[in-house]
Structure 1
Amino acid sequence: MAAGGLAAAGFLALAACGRGGATSGTLRVGNQRGSTKALMLAAGVLDGAPYRVDWSEFPAAQNLLEALGSGAVDVGLVGDAPFQFAYQAGSPIVAVGAMAVVPPTPEGALAILVSPRSAARSIGDLVGKRIASTRGSIGHYLVLRALQQAGLKADAVHMVFLSPSDSQAALQTGAIDAWATWAPYTVAALAQAAHIAVDGRPFSNGTGFDVAYAGAAKAKRDLLADFLDRETKALAWAASHVEEYAAVLSRETGLPLAIARATAQRNGRVRTPIDAGLIAAQQSVLDTFRQAGEVKAPRPLAQAFAPIV
């Protein structure tokens, strides 16, 4: 796959010192806006790592997964829906770690939003309307699940596939009727008086995966294991350091501090094992895309996972 959307990579040079058996070298990490990078920098967990981390920035999971599939980056955190979508498209990627939201996904973390002018308050109100999201994203998945629950076909709405920034602008100008998206985009839009037409909480449990390029999962296993261990510590740190996390998140993303704080308060993620139960739960995600005709699902679901933690 082409590494579309791959931004110029910044890097963080880290001092070398032995830890946990990880070898020296470079780990190329893809970062969605407001995700892994801000969290780990705020927690300081990369201090003293025996390897260098090169960060690449992406506006959405689709772009990050394209880069992973081409081997342009080694690992990155994405939601379950885009991971399943990319994997079934044939991308050479595997999930090496997983995280869950505790408590379950909070209001506004995933939603279909409408403008302040819209009276829509359900997926039924959006029949025949234009809903924007990124193809294969958790927003796209939310639209399909909401339609499914309402007994509506996938073509009952008109999906418009745009980047988050273009979707935001289109909603403001009225070029689209709704936007299916996730935090921090939901948080910023709600602060600008957008309304929730469909809350994502009944449809997604917020599972995320650290996804690696298959070659890196083998060649850089020690580095990945160490990085995931540090990420786990950062998740625990963030739960009790919301203000510190928000300050770095604001600096890294350019979000106003109030929006960054609201996003940090929705963090609530913890490391969770990739076990038989988690893999089985992913079947519903895959089935939703398949039943809508979005994927053919030729690859065995269990082979998408190669846990390191």
Structure 2
Amino acid sequence: MLLPALSQAAPGAGDAPKEIRIGFQKSSVNLTLLKHRQALEQQLKGVKVSWFEFTAGPQMLEALSVGSIDFATTGEPPPIFAQSAGSNLVYVGAEPAKPGVSAILVKPESTIRTLADLKGKKIAFQKGSSAHYHVLRAVQQAGLQWTDITPVYLAPADARAAFERGSVDVWAIWDPYWAAIEQNTQVRVVATGKGLVNNLSHYLSSRSFADRYPKVIQLLFEELTRSDTFVQKNRDEAVAIIAASTGLDKPTIASFLERRPRSPVVYLTQNIIDEQQRVADNFYQKKLIPKVVNVRDAVWLPPAARQQ
């Protein structure tokens, strides 16, 4: 669903909260540019905009679930795990698929050459993250069972350390962490997400925030899409801004953005919902989440769309 046209005026005093708390991570390109551009601060006069960085999606959605932030973006699995745990979050929007921005990595000398070679190996990844689903799909593609591998649940920085010292055989990770290790460590890619996972990015909020401030959600999406346009048209400047924000070097960010497709933000479509439901069903069927998740129960749409 395309974004409905914004009115010329920004949301009025009654249409916006006193503060908007936004969660982001190093992979959140559009949010990083939005933070730098200060477009929300300029349009929402008198509204405090606070920004909180997280290492990965599961940690971010935990904060969203307890009310510490109002708006966040993650890959596909984190909201599924959150919903299965009873969180009251809602999907409010999404970016297109990015299958090429994640990878299953080994060291150059590794004997692992194919996905079938993952059998019996220790694989590090963030539990409940996009990497979790990437590994699940890789195992399935190889004709293996989940029990054929040893998952090692670690946050990105700890997973990289374990991978570099040889405590695990494989690291499943997304950009820009993948791009970062490529800059100073020799790694070999066993598989990217292409042909395995879609890697959609989802935007999430609490249901109460979205219901109360739909014009703010709409404004966020407009400005996030403008941020993406900026990335596409001003690549060198975008690289510099994101590098400064993340603390990563420019070659790392340039490599990341080269793999990242154009990413405007839209409200959820039926195709996006169906794809997310397939991910949720796969996790449940493999007993990786405790109960069936109905994605549609957590989908929020703007008032105008509900009347269609």
Above 0.5 in TM-score?
yes
User: What's the counterpart of residue 105 of structure 1?
Assistant: 99
After TM superposition, the structure 1 stretch with the greater mean CA deviation from structure 2, 26-35 or 80-89, is 80-89
- SS of 2:80 mapped into structure 1: helix
- The within-5 A match list for 1:1-309 is 19-21=10-12, 22-23=15-16, 25-35=18-28, 36-43=30-37, 45-46=39-40, 48-50=42-44, 51-101=47-97, 105-106=99-100, 109-191=101-183, 192-268=185-261, 269-308=263-302
After TM superposition, the structure 1 stretch with the greater mean CA deviation from structure 2, 266-275 or 246-255, is 266-275
Partners of 2:71 and 2:205 within 8 A in 1: yes
Partners of 2:115 and 2:141 within 8 A in 1: no
Cα offset, 1:42, TM superposition: 4.6
Q: Which amino acid aligns with 1:177?
A: D
Cα offset, 1:20, TM superposition: 4.5
Cα offset, 1:273, TM superposition: 3.7
Partners of 1:112 and 1:196 within 8 A in 2: yes
Partners of 2:90 and 2:206 within 8 A in 1: yes
Once superposed, what is the RMSD of the aligned Cα atoms?
Answer: 2.0
- How many equivalent residue pairs? 289
Q: Which amino acid aligns with 1:164?
A: P
Separation of aligned partners in 1, 2:71 and 2:180: 27
Separation of aligned partners in 2, 1:86 and 1:215: 17
Partners of 2:221 and 2:266 within 8 A in 1: no
Q: Which amino acid aligns with 1:243?
A: D
Name the % identity. Answer: 30
Separation of aligned partners in 2, 1:239 and 1:46: 20
Partners of 2:137 and 2:197 within 8 A in 1: no
Partners of 2:73 and 2:202 within 8 A in 1: yes
In structure 2, do the counterparts of structure 1 residues 149 and 42 end up closer, same or farther at CA, with 3 Å as the change threshold? same
- SS of 2:42 mapped into structure 1: coil
Separation of aligned partners in 2, 1:131 and 1:49: 45
What whole-Å deviation, never above 9, does each CA across 1:129-155 have from its counterpart, x for those lacking one?
A: 110111111101111111112221111
Structure 2 gaps of 5+ residues are 1-7
Which has the larger share of helix?
Answer: 2
Partners of 1:75 and 1:212 within 8 A in 2: yes
Structure 1 gaps of 5+ residues are 1-16
Cα offset, 1:179, TM superposition: 0.8
Separation of aligned partners in 2, 1:96 and 1:53: 19
Cα offset, 1:56, TM superposition: 0.7
Separation of aligned partners in 1, 2:175 and 2:279: 20
